[in-house]
Structure 1
Amino acid sequence: MACDINDCAVFVYALFGISAGNHRLWSHNAFKAKLPLQIILIIASSLTFQYSVLNWVRDHRLHHRYTDTDPHNAARGVFFSHIGWLLVKKHPEVKRREKFTDLRDVKANPVLRFQKKWAVPFIGSICFIIPTLIPVYFWNESLNVAWHLSFLRYVASLHQTFLVNSYAHFVGTRPYDKRILPTNNRSINVVVLGEGFHNFHHAFPWDYRSAELGTLFFNPTTWFIELFAKIGWAYDLKTASKAVIEGRAQRTGDGTRVQNKSVS
């Protein structure tokens, strides 16, 4: 039982590594983080074993620059955008365009360079070895149960991330930009800890809240960032102004944004 509870806690912690770390901090520079918070986030990110943050940022920036024609192209269907893109070789055009993706800021980050240099032993240990050995050593869990729960957490965290690439591009509304596939979907938002307002995010990728409603709706990742902002470890939190948001919705939205709310 203790192993189950702790693995769930590790699972949630790992998701913050992706949503707050890989995504909002390092991919979009939506806020800045001091070294202690970066260390917390790099460990959390490594728990998901989505290879190095540098690779993750490269693919995600490419995803935004070429929305709907990117590495996990949603125009090729739900399965491809969810996991199929990882089962085939990258399209030559994707490889070509990767070379033009600006990564100078993340490549200059010593925390990310360390993770990249020691990717396999560091990420492998954080994701599998340590989470397996801790319950075995401290509360006499069997190695078999501890290992399989760690692997289950890993697989679940992968699919949690993949849902943003797939489900959040097909089901929902497009209050800010009806010309692109990303949608706002409140149901998936709960699963992905506040990353479900994907149409808003693609319209305003620099906004640390990743949603117009910010903390007024279920957005644990935003709460996480704001918690560390209170102690000074997160700072320079960027937001899109109300006027800019309203203007964009009026120009390109599908009409579902009502009184500062996105109907999903």
Structure 2
Amino acid sequence: MNRISHWVREHRIHHKHVDTDADPHNSLRGLFFSHIGWQMMKKHPDVLTKGAKINYDDMSADPVVAFFDRHFGILKPLLGFILPVVIPVVFFGQELKPAIITQWFMRYPYVVNTMFSINSFAHAFGYRSYDKTIRPTENGFLSFITTGEGWHNYHHAFPWDYKAAELGSFFPNRCTWWIRLWSKLGLAYDLKEAPEHSIKRIVERKGDGTHPIWIPKGDPSAQVEEVIEEHPYMYMES
């Protein structure tokens, strides 16, 4: 786990150079590397070279980001390890040992690995409903365990859409609900969404045929026919 500005830079270069040597967690280097191996190895020279060209001045201009970056050495252990143990012990009567076990050795590895799974499993397993030419996928299970981050093919097809999914804010995408709440509180702003006509156009041009409403133009594949059989009411002509 690192500073906010560092994460933003890594995420931006990941999107700009996805699954190339300039991608910090290039999935073409294998499942282990894209999951956690990239954290254990020196960065590829392309990551350093092209990463240096990524502009993230907006992060240094943000007072909240600047505060967290400046006090990262204190805030990381405080928010990540100390308070998660102190709160259940002081306010809920939890014993210290179980609190440490559950918060340090269960919660933290779970959160880290579910987050890393988007870099690894969501680039390997699932549908490519929006763009079959890229490796990121739509994975409902990952969306469930990460509260909405597994709709990764959509996220890479429309990276500016704050929802990171076409689905809105129902159960598998609770991250969207939180962003909307922060927006109402004035903590998030300038939220952008991909318009429906753009989504439809991309699906028809690049989708793999698994989108539940629209299908690629041209000769339908067997996969498309299976989708139509599963959702016939969506394709009935009026």
Same fold per superposition (TM over 0.5): yes
Task: Tell me whether 96-105 or 226-235 shows the greater mean CA deviation.
Answer: 226-235
Q: Distance in 2 between matches of 1:89 and 1:252?
A: 35
Mapped contact 2:122–2:152 kept (Cα < 8 A): yes
1:116 to 54, 69, 91: 69
2:85 to 129, 132, 137: 132
**Residue identity in the other structure for 2:4:** V
Which residue does the alignment assign to 1:29? none
1:141 to 88, 94, 99: 94
Which residue does the alignment assign to 2:204? 250
**Residue identity in the other structure for 2:192:** K
**Residue identity in the other structure for 2:34:** S
Structure (1 or 2) with the larger CA radius of gyration: 2
Asked which structure has the greater RCO (Cα within 8 Å, sep 6+), the reply is 1
Q: Distance in 2 between matches of 1:112 and 1:248?
A: 34
Q: Distance in 2 between matches of 1:111 and 1:100?
A: 24
Which residue does the alignment assign to 1:37? none
Q: 1:59 to 1:101 in 2, by over 3 A?
A: same
Task: Tell me whether 62-71 or 252-261 shows the greater mean CA deviation.
Answer: 252-261
**C-alpha displacement of 1:137:** 2.8
Which residue does the alignment assign to 1:192? 146
Q: Distance in 1 between matches of 2:196 and 2:92?
A: 51
Q: Distance in 2 between matches of 1:201 and 1:188?
A: 14
**Residue identity in the other structure for 2:81:** F
2:122 paired with 1:168? yes
Q: Distance in 1 between matches of 2:184 and 2:92?
A: 35
Identity %: 44
Mapped contact 1:212–1:260 kept (Cα < 8 A): no
Q: CA deviation digits over 1:197-239, x for unaligned, max 9?
A: 1000001011111111223562111122223444555443210
Q: 1:135 to 1:78 in 2, by over 3 A?
A: same
1:26-175 matched pairs, under 5 angstroms: 50-69=1-20, 70-151=23-104, 152-175=106-129
RMSD: 2.0
Mapped contact 2:160–2:193 kept (Cα < 8 A): yes
Q: Distance in 1 between matches of 2:141 and 2:92?
A: 36
**Residue identity in the other structure for 1:172:** G
**C-alpha displacement of 1:107:** 1.3
Alignment length (residue pairs): 214
Q: Secondary structure in 1 aligned to 2:84?
A: helix
Q: Distance in 2 between matches of 1:138 and 1:257?
A: 47
Q: Secondary structure in 1 aligned to 2:169?
A: helix
**C-alpha displacement of 1:113:** 1.0
Q: 1:216 to 1:260 in 2, by over 3 A?
A: farther
**C-alpha displacement of 1:54:** 0.8
Q: TM-score, normalised by structure 2?
A: 0.83
Q: CA deviation digits over 1:51-87, x for unaligned, max 9?
A: 2111111111111010112100101111111111111
2:137 to 166, 183, 186: 183
Q: CA deviation digits over 1:156-182, x for unaligned, max 9?
A: 110010010011111111111111100
Q: TM-score, normalised by structure 1?
A: 0.75
Q: Distance in 2 between matches of 1:81 and 1:61?
A: 16
Mapped contact 2:147–2:171 kept (Cα < 8 A): no
**Residue identity in the other structure for 1:53:** I
